[in-house]
Structure 1
Amino acid sequence: MPVVAVELAGRPYEVRVGTGLLADLPAQCGKLLRKRRVPIVTDENVARDWRGIAQQSLDSAGFEPQWLVHAPGEGAKSWSGLARTMDWLLEQEVERGDHILALGGGVIGDLTGFAASILKRGCGFIQLPTSLLAQVDSSVGGKTAINASAGKNLVGAFHQPSLVLADLDTLTTLPARELRCGYAEVIKYGILGDRAFFDWCETDGAKVVAGDRAAQEYAVTESVKAKARIVAEDERETTGKRALLNLGHTFGHALEAETGFSDKLLHGEGVALGMVLAARYSARRGYISDDDAARVTAAIDAVGLPSEIAALDMDSDGRKLAAHMLHDKKMDAGTLPFILLHGIGAAFLDKEVSLEDVAAFLDEELQAH
């Protein structure tokens, strides 16, 4: 079983990648489960597929799982979802030395992690990610948040988990669209910092989406290694290194906002399309070749992820899309740095981008492809 260490000063933790981890929860969590009653936060979809296995695993070791089950979707990542979670955790008499289990995808991990960060000024939590996107990205690194009316993830905290158990078995119950969304975050690591991994994604990425277990294990492990290295260097995104992980997200979040954060464009799809736009905009500014931009587009399109903005059929224009970017968390002193490319595997932070130029570029994209 691959084990990746996230090396943070005084607070290192492991990310374990394998099968059967939910069926072996007591042994995997060890002394982190210090009381009989174990609080678990999940959603209805995950509970349907994986609650029974987690329950049986804990029951057999003498634990008493306590469940909070949210409705699926981004609605749980809200002020009301947070209030419900906090009230429930207080009813469970969770103490600062306890650990809350977050069983689910990115929404549950973000919500539970943020709740843990503020409950009694901070208690522990364990990530049990059940989506590919959560396993390779959101469960690692300690970013936790809820959404606000102004945009996604604008209220949150850095709060690292004590352990991450990425059980590949959970990927078998993911809809194909969700699996593709997770793959967007896999190929992102190749595009931003590892050309050899991008090459692997070009040749073997389709196997990840098709359910090949060996390919999935390699993809998750290598992605987690890449993120762990970046988080160790820049935990709180103060040096610009961790900001590279936002490749595709500035464009993607704007598209998500314009489509109402709806099923019309899921987060991973927004990131995929955002990376295509980042590559094409990099080519527009002369940073990379048109061939490299086309290669990024082709690799994303090959697994069924969106690669053309016009396909969204939005009643919008470049200026309206650029306006959404004003709420981006990376805004600093009135300017918005963009993650662009000097080449495949060579992302960088460009602080000299004009939103007027971005708007003009987006107008061209809406008309040309």
Structure 2
Amino acid sequence: MMNDTTPTRTPDDLRAALVTQLAETGAIRTEPVRTAFATVPRHRFLPAHPPQEAYTNKYVVTHHTAGGEAISSISQPSVVAMQLEQLDVRPGMRVLEIGAGTGYNAALMDELVGPGGKVVSIDIEPDVTAAAQVHLLDTGHDRVDVITGDGADGASDQGPFDRIIATTGVWDIPPAWWDQLAPGGRMVIPLRWRALTRSLTLEQVDDRLIAREVRLCGFIPMQGQDGEKAFPLAEGVTVHFDQDTPVDEALARALDTSRTEAWSGVRITGETPLEGVWMQMACTEPGTGRMVTKPPALGTDLVKPAIPPLNPILVNKGSLAYLSVRKISEEEPRLELGAIGHGPEGHHLAERICEQVRRWDSNRDGDPNVTVYRKSELPQVSEGTVIEKDSSVLVVSMSSGNEDG
């Protein structure tokens, strides 16, 4: 048997390889972010894991509830890089981070702001902040202030902040974040509406926040925000929707009613990404939510989602319809998008999904326009879909992929 002479890769080697990978894929776009990633030793923020795992482009859950639910993690490096590029942190800035995680993201931002800046990181879980503080001190990032508290309250005694970033899923923008953002400042938050989440680059312009960039992402939800409701339909099937969506108890029996189908005529390959269909629905249809399918329902005839296990759905009172897909013929390799409905309005809802599929098909490069207002300062809106939350209001629409800007 030959001896394995492959040299062991050091943490520095692994970190350099990860930085190269993130730059080649476009997650890292600027030299300051690249330098920060090359400097901060990610493996020191995951001391219970081998360096090979720390420098893999994957997230790692670090804290759970007693019931096993994930409450904190170190995010996937490509997502961390994406958000930092969105945030555009510069030397001397003051930055507020909502969600401390392991402290790794705060360390990267500490590198970006430099000695003349300040990073404040807040988390509601004492175990999380204690571990983050240890990691930050261990890696020489002792300028970072780590606070245990409700992230929704921010850190008023240390503001205003040039930048605010949330590294946890957010359903609403709390008033404190508006108050603590410096004039002309920027927020980067994974905001959820109509049961999907996007990382928004929000710039303050007068009395509003305007999204300059909208990026696909996923985060553990922020504790204490319950504007999204869950409704079980069957064992292994649950729907999630915003609190303003009208539903009644008949929805629980919707899957017991006969199935109706509608087909859009839009054909796709098996590799076609469908996030754009969901976004088209979320910017247009007020009843848009998501259907989560798990065993034992996954892979059965009970439901036939186009995107298992997370699939867009329309609900209204006791009826629902969800995005589906079917094989056209043995000779045709492409698939047809459509919808399956249940309940008294099931067919009508399915037809509405098909209409949104056709709109997406005619504008596949379209991007969402998102403007956020304080709920108390919403002006008269003539265009777009208005989505009210507890403290803020979103006005959303879809732009043409041919538009400049």
Give the TM-score normalised by structure 2. Answer: 0.31
* Bigger radius of gyration: 2
Per residue, is there more helix in 1 or in 2? 1
Greater RCO structure (CA 8 Å; 6+ sep): 1
Answer 1 or 2: which has greater strand percent. 2
TM-score normalised by the chain length of structure 1: 0.34
